[in-house]
Amino acid sequence: MKFELDLGAGARIIRSYGPGEFTVGEQRVRGSMVITGDQLLLDLLPERSELLTTSHLDALCALGTDLLVIGTGQRQIFPAPALLAAVLARGIGCEVMATPAACRCYNVLVSESRSVAAALFALEPPAG
């Protein structure tokens, strides 16, 4: 799916996503990623959302945003309640959704100048 939101030069927005990749600004990113208004991090996430641990969430919380959006792939998969509770206990809001919804949510929040990080797991390529 392709997005047309344009926040001007320097804004970190997700322009498109597809199986195994994202386009952030003019940069193509293969695999999963973490994005904030001013950072793009490619090495903070495990291979799949089911493998998220306290260490991963600690690193995401250390980014210093007020809200964390987790896109778990093609469908919504909730992390263990204890993992989410640890994020919420730090005063950081946390929303879990499928990656397509997480991309849209992140773009809206960053366009409103909100302090948000999105941990986005790439969509699986089609079987076959």
Average pLDDT over residues 95-122: 97
Sign of CA dihedral 105, 88, 79, 45: positive
Q: Class of 14-120 per CATH? A: alpha beta
Query: Bigger pLDDT: 8 or 2?
Result: 2
CA angle 42, 59, 43 (to 5 degrees): 15
pLDDT tens per residue, range 45-84: 999 999 999 999 999 999 999 999 999 999 999 999 999 9
Confidence of residue 125 (pLDDT cuts 50, 70, 90): confident
What residue ranges do the domains of the chain occupy?
14-120
pTM value is 0.90
